[in-house]
């Protein structure tokens, strides 16, 4: 039996991995990316596990699969794959995918400097700047983002009472700001982030169980954002996002930054036109901006944009040999 072969381009966006699958992925029907995501999860999830988990990936692995768009007004369809599942939207994944697709010639823009992508959460536009073949910077105009629930009080085993906001930026986030019961991200080790985050996620999911008001396929609290003041002189704030079972985002997290800008706008701390530079746990930056207002199922929402960079780090032909007892990946 021949092994399954996947043609991938590996990149990272501000430190977080983006494995772009350009060949070998399952052929899916010409339906929306939201429907493709449902089909992929039900019938082909082994592809995600094989490409994201060890021995080919790791605890924070993330990537995307390129598909033709089902909509006339989009240049590319993107399915986000990650250790946590198939995300509705991924910001660092978009910046990495666009960089790879342009540099490798997987997409030819109709208008230089602009692309439109069909993603499971909807349609997004990006602008990019390139120098010859190489993409210097990508700005993505994300889907409308909103504060879903404010000041939610939960009891977290090992931590005690905690107040969090639940905000949506393409995924649902529990945002934990410094507070009397918790000193902030600066006082945390990575080991503590990994231990406490699943407990916070479970407690907040039980309390709120968020469902997107306009697309019930998008539901569940998937990510925890630990927030603090900036260290970088150009940043407004710093964060670490936890995902999957053991992943900490090395980038400032695009959907997380969108969710945080929505939260801060709803609380009167940002307004349309404001910039919000977000720093990651390793000191890299995303340049967020509140572009405008919107409405999501009766909630006041914002239209955020996020600017960042990505670099290609390798071409990777990945084999999945069914005779291998660990062919479909494992986690410790
Ligand atoms: O950048 O949106 C993001 C993201 C989601 C999970 C990890 N990164």
Averages of pLDDT over runs of 10 residues in the chain (332 residues) are 93 98 97 97 98 98 98 98 96 98 97 97 97 97 97 93 97 96 91 96 97 95 96 98 97 98 98 98 98 97 98 98 96 92
Query: Would you state the pLDDT for residue 155?
Result: 96
Query: Would you state the pLDDT for residue 181?
Result: 84
Confirm or reject: Cβ of 90 under 6 Å from ligand 1.
yes
Name the pTM for this structure.
0.97
Residue 268 CA to ligand 1 centre (angstroms): 25
Residue 324 CA to ligand 1 centre (angstroms): 31
**Cβ atoms of residues 296 and 302 within 8 Å:** no
Confirm or reject: Cβ of 260 under 6 Å from ligand 1.
no
Confirm or reject: Cβ of 253 under 6 Å from ligand 1.
yes
Question: Of these residues, 14, 86, 90, 253, which one is catalytic?
Answer: 90
Give this complex's ipTM: 0.99
Active site residue 253: no
Confirm or reject: Cβ of 14 under 6 Å from ligand 1.
no
Residue 295 CA to ligand 1 centre (angstroms): 23
Residue nearest to atom 8 of ligand 1 (CA): 253
Residue 257 CA to ligand 1 centre (angstroms): 9
SS (H, E, C) the chain: CCCEEEEEEEEEECCEEEEEEEECCCCCCCCCHHHHHHHHHHHCHHHHHHHHCECCCCCCCEEEEEECCCCCCCCEEEEEEECCECCCCCHHHHHHHHHHHHHCCCCCCCECCEEEEEECCEEEEEEEEEECCEEEEEEEECCCEEEEEEEEEEEECCCEEEEEEEEECCCEEEEECCECCECCHHHCCHHHHHHHHHHHHHHHHHHHCCECCCCCCCECEEEEEEEEECCCCCCCEEEEEEECCCEECCCCCHHHHHHHHHHHHHCCCCCCCCEEEEECCCCCEEEEEEEEEEEECCEEEEEEEEEECEEEEEEEEEEECCCCCCCCCECC
- How far apart CA 167 and CA 98 sit, in angstroms, is 25
Query: Would you state the pLDDT for residue 56?
Result: 98
Confirm or reject: Cβ of 222 under 6 Å from ligand 1.
no
Query: Would you state the pLDDT for residue 95?
Result: 98
Mutate which of 81, 86, 93 for ligand 1 pocket (most atoms within 8 A of beta carbon): 93
Query: Would you state the pLDDT for residue 215?
Result: 93
- CB-based burial, 162-178: b 16+ in 10 Å, e otherwise: bebbbbbbbbbbbbbbe
Confirm or reject: Cβ of 165 under 6 Å from ligand 1.
no
Confirm or reject: Cβ of 169 under 6 Å from ligand 1.
no
């Amino acid at each position: 039996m021949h092994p399954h072969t996947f043609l991938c381009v590996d990149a990272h966006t501000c430190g977080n991995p983006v494995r772009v699958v350009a060949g070998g992925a399952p052929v899916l029907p010409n339906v929306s990316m939201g429907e493709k995501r449902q089909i992929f999860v039900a019938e082909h999830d082994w592809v995600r596990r094989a490409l994201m988990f060890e021995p080919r990936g790791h605890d924070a692995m993330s990537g995307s699969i390129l598909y033709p768009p089902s909509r006339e007004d989009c240049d590319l369809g993107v399915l986000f794959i990650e250790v946590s599942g198939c995300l509705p939207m991924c910001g660092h994944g978009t910046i990495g995918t666009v960089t790879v697709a342009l540099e490798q010639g997987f997409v030819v823009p109709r208008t230089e400097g602009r692309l439109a992508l069909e993603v499971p959460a909807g349609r997004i536009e990006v602008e990019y700047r390139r120098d010859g073949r190489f993409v210097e910077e990508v700005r993505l105009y994300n889907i409308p983002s909103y504060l879903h629930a404010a000041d939610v009080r939960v009891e977290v085993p090992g931590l005690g009472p905690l107040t969090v906001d639940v905000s949506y930026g393409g995924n649902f986030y529990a945002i934990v700001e410094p507070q009397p019961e918790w000193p902030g991200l600066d006082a945390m080790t990575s080991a503590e982030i990994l231990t406490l985050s699943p407990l916070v996620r479970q407690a907040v999911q039980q309390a709120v169980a968020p469902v997107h008001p306009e697309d019930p396929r998008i539901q569940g609290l998937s990510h925890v954002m630990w927030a603090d003041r900036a260290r970088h002189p150009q940043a407004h704030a710093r964060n670490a996002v936890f995902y999957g079972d053991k992943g900490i985002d090395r980038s400032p997290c695009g959907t997380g930054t969108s969710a945080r800008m929505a939260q801060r706008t709803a609380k009167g701390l940002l307004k349309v036109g404001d910039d919000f530079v977000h720093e990651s746990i390793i000191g890299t930056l995303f340049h967020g901006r509140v572009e405008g207002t919107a409405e999501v199922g009766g909630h006041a929402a914002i239209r955020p944009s996020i600017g960042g960079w990505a670099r290609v780090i390798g071409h990777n032909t990945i084999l999945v040999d069914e005779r291998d007892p660990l062919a479909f990946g494992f986690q410790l």
